[in-house]
Structure 1
Amino acid sequence: MLNYNVFIALLHYPAMDKDGKPIVTSFTTMDLHDIARPCRAYEINTYYIVQPVDGQRYIIRKQLEYWLSEEGKKDNPTRYEAVSLVKLAYTYEEVLEDIQKRTGKMPKVVGTDARKYPNTVSYDFLRHEIQKREDNFLIVFGTAYGIPPDLMSTFDYILEPIYGAGDWNHLSVRNAAAIILDRLLSRNRC
């Protein structure tokens, strides 16, 4: 994989509701496929789905088992390739521990949000940092109304928001992941 030093995590917990209260969000099948595909296209290392609820984890595991089975591979080989990058985790901390265990060092953590933060960086800045291949990077995506501010404050960087043609920037996490991976890792931008 070209971008072996890039990992992503989709957080179903911690997440926030519209009032800023902590919640656990539900998994959607589209998040599995529609985020795994750009992960494969941009050759990242691992796509973590963080889900602490056992009933939700069961659904995710069943989908992973099918697409990683011989039947799933035969049915859709490209889906098999994309889904093979997915790893299920209970917690965000488990993701960090797994990356450290596998690579020997903690990753630089990069948050994503529709708002700017004091440690907001540009796509150009992060793309150049990734291309140095000196550090590992974990790009964290939130669900519902985003990642709680107390967790965001622990991240090394926050990517600048995705702006469209106007003021409206409330994209689905699937759209945001694809756009962000393209801006950071596309060979057209290097």
Structure 2
Amino acid sequence: MKNHNVFIALLHYPAMAKDGKIIITSFTTMDLHDIARPARAYEINTFYIVQPVDAQRYIIQKQIDYWLSEEGRKTNPTRHEVVSMVKLLYTYDEVIEDIQKNRGTKPVVVGTDARPYPKTVSYQFLREEIEKRERDFLIVFGTGYGIPPDLMATFDYILEPIYGAGDWNHLSVRNAAAIILDRLLSRNRC
């Protein structure tokens, strides 16, 4: 994989509710395929799904198991390929531990949000850092109304928000992940 030093994580916990309370969000079945496909297209290392609720994990794991089975491979070989990049974990801390265990060092953690934060960096800056291939990067995507500010404050960087033609920028996490991976890792740059 060209971008072996890039990992992504989709957090279902911790997440924020509209009122700012910390919640656990539900898994959306489209997230598995619609984030795994650009993850594969841009040749990242691993796509982590963080979900602590066992009933939700059961649904996610059933999908993963099906697409990794022989029947799933025969039904859709490309789906098998993209789902093989997915790891289901209970916590964000487990993601960091897994990367450290497999790569030998803690990754640079990059948060994403529709709002700017003090440690906000540009796509160009992060792209240049990734292209050096000197460090591993974990790009974290939130669900619900985003990643809680307390966790965002622990990240090394926050990627600048995605701005469209106007001032509305509340995209689905699937859209945001694809756009961000394209801006950071595409060979078709403006």
Q: Give the structure-1-normalised TM-score.
A: 0.99
Instruction: Tell me the distance in 2 between the aligned counterparts of 1:83 and 1:177.
Output: 16
Long gaps (5+) in structure 1: none
The 3-state SS of whatever aligns with 1:155 is coil
- Percent identity over the alignment is 83
Displacement of 1:188 after TM fit?
1.2
Deviations 1:56-109 (A, max 9, x none): 000001000000001101100111111110000000000000000000000000
Matched letter for residue 184 of structure 2? L
Instruction: Tell me the distance in 2 between the aligned counterparts of 1:11 and 1:60.
Output: 13
2:7 maps to which residue?
7
The 3-state SS of whatever aligns with 2:165 is coil
Deviations 1:146-178 (A, max 9, x none): 000000000000000000000000000000000
2:168 maps to which residue?
168
Instruction: Tell me the distance in 1 between the aligned counterparts of 2:189 and 2:159.
Output: 17
Instruction: Tell me the distance in 1 between the aligned counterparts of 2:64 and 2:79.
Output: 10
The 3-state SS of whatever aligns with 2:170 is coil
The 3-state SS of whatever aligns with 1:88 is strand
Which runs of at least 4 in structure 1 moved beyond 2 Å after TM superposition?
none
Matched letter for residue 115 of structure 2? R
Instruction: Tell me the distance in 2 between the aligned counterparts of 1:45 and 1:22.
Output: 29
Matched letter for residue 169 of structure 2? N
Instruction: Tell me the distance in 2 between the aligned counterparts of 1:111 and 1:61.
Output: 25
2:33 maps to which residue?
33
Matched letter for residue 25 of structure 1? T
* Alignment size in residue pairs: 190
Displacement of 1:125 after TM fit?
0.2
Displacement of 1:44 after TM fit?
0.2
The 3-state SS of whatever aligns with 1:63 is helix
Displacement of 1:189 after TM fit?
2.2
2:22 maps to which residue?
22
Displacement of 1:132 after TM fit?
0.2
2:74 maps to which residue?
74
Instruction: Tell me the distance in 1 between the aligned counterparts of 2:99 and 2:189.
Output: 27
Q: Where in structure 2 are the equivalents of 1:24-63 lying within 5 Å? A: 24-63=24-63
Matched letter for residue 66 of structure 2? Y
Matched letter for residue 76 of structure 2? N
Instruction: Tell me the distance in 2 between the aligned counterparts of 1:188 and 1:132.
Output: 18
Instruction: Tell me the distance in 2 between the aligned counterparts of 1:73 and 1:180.
Output: 28
The 3-state SS of whatever aligns with 1:116 is coil
Instruction: Tell me the distance in 2 between the aligned counterparts of 1:35 and 1:152.
Output: 21
1:108 maps to which residue?
108
Q: Give the structure-2-normalised TM-score.
A: 0.99
State the Cα RMSD in Å: 0.7
